[in-house]
Amino acid sequence: MLRIAVCDDDKSAVLSHRQIAEECLRQCGSVGEIADYTDSSNLLYDITEDKLFFDLILLDIEMPNSSGMELAEKIKPYLPNVKIIFITSHIEYAIDAFELAIFRYVPKDDTGRRLPAAIRDALKLILLQDGKTYTIRTNSRLEKIPYNEIYYIERDGKNACINAAGGISKVRKSLQQVYEELEAEEFIYIDRGCIANMIHIMQVKDGMVVLKNGASLPVSRSHLQAVKEQINTYWGAHI
């Protein structure tokens, strides 16, 4: 079941955004729970103290006490994969939103048209990433790593190092063998010795890919054009 939070100090905005989210859930054929907040400190408490989990948060930026921007920064360590949609009347915030790996930015004066599309896109991505895991089996351990938590995988001698939200895991297999076992289009070679997860790629610039966790990885010149094309094709098909 998907969990969505709507946070805005304006009660009428919360009601409106909730109704839009409910309709988007119906359109996507998904079951979900929606929690309403008119005080950002209550949402922060529920996440950091009560350990509530949310897949998607609709967040107003201009709120008293703690702005949506400040709140998102505090939430990310607890919910690193949460999708956040910022709703604001100030376009300059969109630049800062990139630094926080915000999923989408929606202007307040155009929520009726743009918010439903943003929510549907977020739900599609959440459902796309849900449930798939990579399993590492050895004589002494069994480890399952969710695909959506894997940032990148790199070759380390005879091992493949999986860099994920939970840390680094090594498996004594070739990079190509791990790639074939993943069998998922979101994983692409950016270099002969490195595979990146497209869902975490924020930017391709100056021969580097920038990931949501802040990592910058070099893209070999021979792979650069193919990487750009694969990213465009992937998001064009799924969003």
Residue 37 has what pLDDT? Answer: 96
Residue 20 has what pLDDT? Answer: 97
What's the whole-number average pLDDT of the chain? 88
For the whole model, what pTM was predicted?
Answer: 0.64
**Strand bridging mode 2-7 / 32-37:** parallel
Contact, 143 vs 169, CB < 8 A?
A: yes
Contact, 201 vs 211, CB < 8 A?
A: yes
Separation of alpha carbons 91 and 87, rounded Å: 10
What tens digit of pLDDT does each residue of 193-229 get?
999 999 899 889 889 999 988 899 999 999 999 999 9
Residue 150 has what pLDDT? Answer: 94
* Total count of residues recorded for the chain: 239
Contact, 82 vs 57, CB < 8 A?
A: yes
What tens digit of pLDDT does each residue of 169-179 get?
999 999 999 99
What tens digit of pLDDT does each residue of 47-97 get?
999 989 999 999 998 887 777 888 988 998 888 778 999 998 766 555 444
Residue 155 has what pLDDT? Answer: 96
Task: Examine the pLDDT at 124 and tell me if it is beyond 90.
Answer: no
**Domains within the chain, CATH numbers bracketed:** 2-129 (3.40.50.2300), 133-238 (2.40.50.1020)
For 58, list phi and psi in degrees, rounded to 5: -95, 115
Residue 34 has what pLDDT? Answer: 97
Residue 154 has what pLDDT? Answer: 97
What tens digit of pLDDT does each residue of 10-27 get?
999 999 999 999 999 999
What tens digit of pLDDT does each residue of 136-165 get?
887 777 888 889 889 999 999 999 999 998
What percentage of the chain's residues is helix, strand, coil (to nearest 5)?
Answer: 40, 30, 30
Residue 95 has what pLDDT? Answer: 45
Residue 91 has what pLDDT? Answer: 60
Burial letters 189-204, b for 16+ CB under 10 A, else e = bbbeebbbbbbbbeee
